[in-house]
């Protein structure tokens, strides 16, 4: 990276701090937790807990989900601390609390570290240490492997780093069972395969931001056409993976049918992007991908609820 680029980043951070909007509010610290990302993480973790065989006291189940939420939020806070230089450059992230000058970097780091420790310790003491270790691994993977190592070094950052976002269902499962099973790995695989097309759709219409910040997202490094092909490839590979819970008997035909229909719709969006990578098509795919994952995991719960009612 050139000295000019480094100086530009430093100037951007300094300028952002200079126009800070006063002392931090509770809302600023909530924003550090990336609540929109957290909501999806919490939901998938809850589904893993719901589908796992066995029972856990409702209070302890709530504690497990709280720990997953706090751990996810803590990861987001540390991520924002580390990425404050590039966040100040990218239009999409310039108003985040740190680059906007509303939260001091050291405050964000301390906030994230304290919440990380809290979530891991409480999960271990209140639920079980298997889930605690998995939660600690998830936080460490997102912060160290993805944020500090992969994100700025390789266009495969999303592919490999996506493992951290895919682990919450396994943590929820382990909170009930105390171990990891093939069924929980299948839930992990769904999110893992979904992550690249989801984020690459975003990166296609935000590629200028990533290029300006020096983040080697796939469109910046390999070009838009290769990104379109990779989105299609991962989308095609993802659909049979989403049927794995049906294959394994975790859920039944209601889920299998719903996942098949949703998969065809996802492929339709991927094909539109392959054919025409306009901002309109990429935004549509990105938006649908969020709804898609939420519906896939909702149908896992619906199927189990229906089959449970018939048994």
What is the pLDDT, as a whole number, of residue 18? Answer: 44
The model carries a pTM of: 0.91
Token couple for 282? 């990429």
How confident is the model over 248-266, as pLDDT tens digits? 999 999 999 999 999 999 9
Quick one: tokens of 106?
A: 């050291």
Query: If DSSP codes are grouped into helix, strand and coil, which group holds residue 171?
Result: helix
Sign of CA dihedral 266, 244, 302, 61: negative
pLDDT at 306: 82
Domains of the chain, earliest start first: 28-178 (1.10.357.140), 181-311 (1.20.120)
Q: What angle do CA 38, 43, 46 make, to 5 degrees?
A: 125
| Cβ partners under 8 Å of residue 152, min gap 6 | 86, 214, 215, 216
**47 pLDDT higher than 60:** yes
For helices 58-82 and 129-140, angle between their N-to-C axes, nearest 10 degrees: 20
Mean pLDDT, residues 197-202 taken together? 96
Summarize the confidence of residues 49-66 as an average pLDDT.
Answer: 96
Question: CA–CA distance from 59 to each of 55, 62, 132, 176 (Å)?
Answer: 12, 5, 17, 13
Give the tens place of pLDDT for each residue, 155-189. Answer: 999 999 999 999 999 999 999 999 999 999 999 99
pLDDT of residue 23: 76
- Rounded Cα–Cα distance for residues 131 and 307 (Å): 27
Average pLDDT for 49-69: 96
């Amino acid at each position: 990276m050139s000295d000019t680029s480094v100086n530009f980043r430093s100037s951007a951070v300094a300028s952002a701090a200079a126009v800070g909007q006063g002392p931090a509010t509770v809302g600023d610290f909530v924003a550090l937790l990336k609540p929109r990302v957290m909501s999806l993480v919490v939901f998938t973790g809850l589904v893993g807990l719901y589908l796992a065989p066995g029972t856990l006291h409702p209070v302890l189940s709530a504690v497990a989900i709280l720990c997953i939420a706090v751990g996810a939020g803590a990861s987001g806070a540390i991520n924002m601390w580390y990425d404050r230089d590039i966040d100040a450059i990218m239009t999409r992230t310039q108003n985040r609390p740190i680059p906007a000058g509303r939260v001091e970097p050291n405050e964000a780091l301390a906030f994230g570290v304290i919440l990380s420790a809290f979530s891991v310790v409480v999960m271990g003491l209140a639920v079980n240490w298997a889930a605690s270790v998995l939660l600690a691994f998830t936080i460490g993977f997102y912060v160290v492997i993805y944020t500090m190592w992969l994100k700025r070094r390789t266009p495969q950052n999303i592919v490999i780093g996506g493992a951290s976002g895919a682990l919450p269902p396994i943590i929820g499962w382990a909170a009930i069972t105390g171990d990891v099973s093939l069924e929980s790995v299948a839930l992990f695989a769904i999110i893992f395969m979904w992550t690249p097309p989801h984020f690459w759709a975003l990166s296609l219409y935000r590629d200028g931001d990533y290029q300006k910040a020096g983040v080697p997202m796939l469109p910046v490094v390999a070009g838009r056409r290769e990104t379109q092909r990779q989105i299609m490839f991962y989308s095609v590979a993802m659909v049979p993976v989403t049927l794995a819970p049906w294959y394994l008997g975790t859920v039944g035909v209601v889920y299998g049918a719903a996942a098949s229909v949703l998969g065809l719709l996802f492929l339709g969006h991927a094909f539109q992007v392959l054919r025409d990578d306009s901002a309109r098509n990429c935004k549509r795919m990105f938006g649908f991908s969020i709804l898609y994952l939420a519906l896939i995991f909702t149908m896992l719960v619906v199927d189990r609820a229906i089959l449970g009612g018939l048994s």
